[in-house]
Amino acid sequence: MQRINVQPRPNWQAIVEAQGFHFHSIDDKPYWDESVCYIFDRREIDEIEAATYALNDLCLQAVQHVIDNNLFHLFQIPPQFVPWVRESWDRDEFTLYGRFDLAYDGRNPPKLLEYNADTPTSLLEAAVIQWFWFKEVEQNSAAFSAQLATHSTFDQFNSLHDRLIEAWRAYAPIIDARRASAPALFNPTMYFSSISNSIEDFMTVAYLRDTATQAGLATEYIPIEQIGFNHPRSLFVDTRERPIHNIFKLYPWEWMIREQFSPFLLQTLVHWLEAPWKMILSNKAILPILHDLFPDSPYILPASFEPLPGPHIRKPILSREGANIAMVIGGKTVIETPGPYTGPYVYQQLQPLPDYQGNLPVIGSWLVNGYACGIGIREDTSPITGNTSRFVPHLFVK
C-alpha cells in the first residue's frame, strides 16, 4: 500500500462535472483529489475483500443476537417500532448496499471503525468518478506519474456500477410479486428520495436512480419533504397523490422514526430501502455487541458502552459524518469534533490510521446486494474523518 503523487488532468473539474459530479470542491479546495492516489497489490485487495465478507457475516449474526435478546433499548429504537423491525428481519427484506469504514495499513488485518449500513454516501465518486480516472491512467500512465509507468498493468477494485444494476434486477421480482397481489392498487414506480438542500445527497440518489433505470425499473425522484400522507387511504403519496409502495430514501432511520409522520410508517405497506432492520447495523451501538460476540476476530476492535482504560474514541451511537467524536488518551480528551449529537455513547479502542506524511486514510469497502465490490478512500490530516475529508482514487498492481 503506497501513496504517490499524480499529475491532475488540466481540466479535471469540467471532466468530473460532465460525469455528474458537482460537489468536487469545498471552499475552493478539492474534495475529489487526483493529485495523489493509493496503490495496492493483489494480496492487499484480496485481504480487504475477505474482511468485507467476514464483517458482513459477523454483522448479520449480531443483528440476530440483538433481536433474540431484545436489545433494542441499547439502540434507542422506540418500543412501538420493535415489532416492525423484527418483522422486517424475519421477512429477510432486501438490502441494497452498505459501506464498511476500515483502518488498514497493508500489513495488519483491516479493522472495522464503523459500518455505514443505512445511508452511505461517497458512492458516485467511488463507482464512477475514480473508475473513469483509472481508465485514463490505464491508457497513458506515464502522463500521470513516472512511478506508475514502471508498472505494466493496473486494475481497480471497482465493480460497483455493475453490481448496483445487478442488484436492481434482483429487486425487480419483488416489485412484480407485490403488483400481482394487488394489481389495481399497486404503483410499481421505484421512488428515490433525499433532503432537498444537499447536493451530495441528491447526486448520490440521482446516481442510484440511474442504475435502477438501467436495470429496467420505472423510477421517479421526490424530495423527502414532499412526501405526503393520505389519511383516508392510509398511504404515503407523491405530489400527484399517487401511492408510494417502493422507495429508496437517503434519510436516516433514526430521523425517520422520530418525525411527526413516523406513526404512519407502521400503518402502510411501503417497501423501504434500506429495510427497517438495517437501523440496527447503522447504529454505533452495534460495535460493542460485535466485540462481545466476536472478541477474537482480527477485524473487530475492542468496544464498550463504558469508557475503556486505554486510548479510545468516544462516539455518539447516532452521530454522522465525524461529528461529536472525541479522542481520549491518558484520560484526557485530545481531539473533539463539533456537531449536534449527544449520548448515549460507545467507546472504541483507538486504532491509529496509517500515516503518509501527515495524510491519514480510511478505506470505505462497499457491499452491494451481498457482494464486496469496491473501495473508496477518504483521507485527512486529522485522525477523525469528517464530511470534508478528501476522496482519493486508487489502483492495484495485477
| DSSP track, 132-176 | HHHHHHHH-GGGT-HHHHTSS-EE-SB-HHHHHHHHHHHHHHHHH
Is-contact 148 137, C-beta < 8 A? yes
Cα–Cα distance measured from residue 102 to residue 120, given in angstroms and rounded to the nearest whole number: 14
- Is 147 a residue whose pLDDT tops 90? no
pLDDT tens for 17-34 read 999 999 999 888 899 999
E strand or H helix that includes residue 16? helix 12-18
- Is 141 a residue whose pLDDT tops 90? no
Share the mean pLDDT of the chain.
Answer: 95
Region for 331 from its dihedrals, namely left if φ exceeds 0, alpha if ψ lies in -120 to 50, beta otherwise: left
Region for 46 from its dihedrals, namely left if φ exceeds 0, alpha if ψ lies in -120 to 50, beta otherwise: alpha
Spell out a b/e string for 110-142, using b for 16 or more CB atoms within 10 Å of the CB, else e.
Answer: bbbbbbbbbbbbbbbbbbbbbbebbeebeeebe
Cα–Cα distance measured from residue 248 to residue 208, given in angstroms and rounded to the nearest whole number: 9
- Is 149 a residue whose pLDDT tops 80? no
- Is 150 a residue whose pLDDT tops 80? no
Is-contact 275 95, C-beta < 8 A? yes
User: Which residue in the block uniquely carries the three cell numbers 477474537?
Assistant: 296
- Is 93 a residue whose pLDDT tops 90? yes
Is-contact 279 326, C-beta < 8 A? no
Could you tell me what percent of the chain has a pLDDT over 90? 89
- Is 108 a residue whose pLDDT tops 90? yes
Which of 42, 54, 63 shows the shortest CA–CA distance to 365?
54
Question: Average pLDDT of 202-222?
Answer: 97
Give the per-residue pLDDT at 151: 72
Give me the residues paired with residue 247 across strands. 191, 272
Give the per-residue pLDDT at 28: 85
Cα–Cα distance measured from residue 164 to residue 167, given in angstroms and rounded to the nearest whole number: 5
Confidence of residue 145 (pLDDT cuts 50, 70, 90): confident
Cα–Cα distance measured from residue 12 to residue 9, given in angstroms and rounded to the nearest whole number: 5
Question: Average pLDDT of 180-191?
Answer: 88
Confidence of residue 181 (pLDDT cuts 50, 70, 90): confident
Give the per-residue pLDDT at 398: 85
pTM beyond 0.85: the answer is yes
pLDDT tens for 229-250 read 999 999 999 999 999 999 999 9
